Amino acid sequence: MASAAERLRVLFLCTGNSCRSQMAEGWARALRSDSIEPYSAGTEPHGLNALAVRAMAEAGVDISGHTSKTVDSLSGVAFDYVVTVCDSAGKACPFAPGAAKVVHVGFDDPPALAKFAKSEADALAHYRRVRDEIRRFVETLPKALTGDSIMNKPECCDDSCCAPAAPDANTVRDQVREGYAKIAQDGCCGPSGGGCCGPSTFSPDQLARAIGYSSSELGVVPHSANMGLSCGNPTAIASLRPGEVVLDLGAGAGFDCFVAGPKVGKTGRVIGVDMTPDMLAKARRNVASYREQTGLDNVEFRLGEIEALPVADASVDVVISNCVLNLSPDKPRVWREIARVLKPGGRVAVSDLALVRPLPESVKADVEALVGCVAGAVLVDETRAMAAAAGLTEVALTPKPQYIDAMTNWEDPLYRRIVESLPAGSKPSDYITSLDVSAVRR
């Protein structure tokens, strides 16, 4: 081990010094004590987080003896680096003592991710994911501290270092969560109709058959699981096999999970993730009916955001999703999460909406269009680029504009309103397409 004088003194800084910074200090002591002398502190410390302590203990690191400290209490320590591990660490704008260099490496806030968790088990899944992300970062130290993210400033960190998270992303998530909570409570599309689903004159089953689901597939799905929220059939392009582990992003009431379950059989597993507690509750209620109809007990549902999946690394054979990815305000991160959870050789099978050309601003600003999976869509080429940037290969995109034409012909209220916002002579399929996406993790 290097002498104390040779080791880098690193302060892990977060607002509360209760969770992320404590995890970082714990990992640094466990993994990098040969080169790092770690500390942690907060701008507004409020004690250790019990679930963070538990998650770290599961990984073999005991932080139960740590104390939650203020930055001022460490004013006598000459740090080489200050690493801010949360986006809000700059709110009080603490100065970097001496000649310390400031590095911002923001991690998600586990308590915020677990805000809507219905059980401790649901909450712990978020803590474990962030714990493992922090470990991966600490494993790169001290090399990572010499990268381009360093701010060689002894003064208060500025917006380039630790700016608050963009409020727009949180606003979008809240809008989507509220919109889909209403759908879960009121039935398909809510009272206003529209939104990734057929109009009131078409039942969810009619829509499902129109976009490729067979009668045998629909026969095993609990009736209330099909809410007409599909824009394709990802299980059809996934080529699911018995024994595989399948992850459904934005599972809703469980429709595609229940379609996938019989395909992977009793030796397989299907995990549905959704960020809307009302949808999750509906999906879990549907499990009993699924078990009764199929005799299978291979489907489960977890609360979580698709940008921060409560799923272990390299644990999934196939990731599916149906008309959900375009709802995310951080799509590149979703694709990175997909790559993270897939096993080597694992597959992606996604049905989504994408743009052939940019939408008019009047449509993009429409909240109902956002909840209807339209305003948040990106260009087809952007989807390809994001999947490739995440490390996925064999990316194949198959546009299906006929879905959009059908929605327009069926007088779907949302699509009719979009027509009214388009230039004269245009139709929605000139801008929007249903898109099948397949890819493979190296």
Catalytic residues: 14, 86, 93
Q: Helix or strand or coil: residue 61? A: coil
Contacts of 410 (CB under 8 A, 6+ apart): 198, 199, 201, 202
Q: Are 392 and 425 in contact (CB under 8 A)?
A: no
Contacts of 90 (CB under 8 A, 6+ apart): 84, 157, 158, 159, 161, 162, 163, 164
Task: With both helix axes pointing from N to C terminus, report the angle between 380-389 and 331-341 in degrees, rounded to the nearest 10.
Answer: 40
Determine the Cα–Cα distance for residues 247 and 254; give it in Å rounded to an integer. 11
Q: For residue 45, is the peptide bond before it cis, meaning its omega torsion is within 30 degrees of 0?
A: no
Q: Which of 171, 166, 252, 263 is nearest to 216 (CA)?
A: 263
Determine the Cα–Cα distance for residues 248 and 137; give it in Å rounded to an integer. 27
| Burial tier of 40 (Cβ tally within 10 Å: 0-12, 13-18, 19+) | buried
Contacts of 41 (CB under 8 A, 6+ apart): 11, 12, 13, 17, 21, 69, 70, 71, 73, 74
Q: Helix or strand or coil: residue 240? A: coil
Residue type, position 178, single letter: E
Residue 70 pairs with which residues in a beta bridge?
A: 42
Neighbours of 75 (CB within 10 A): 11
Q: Are 351 and 234 in contact (CB under 8 A)?
A: yes
Residue type, position 204, single letter: P
Q: Parallel, antiparallel, or unpaired: how do β-strands 392-400 and 432-441 relate? A: antiparallel
Residue type, position 330, single letter: D
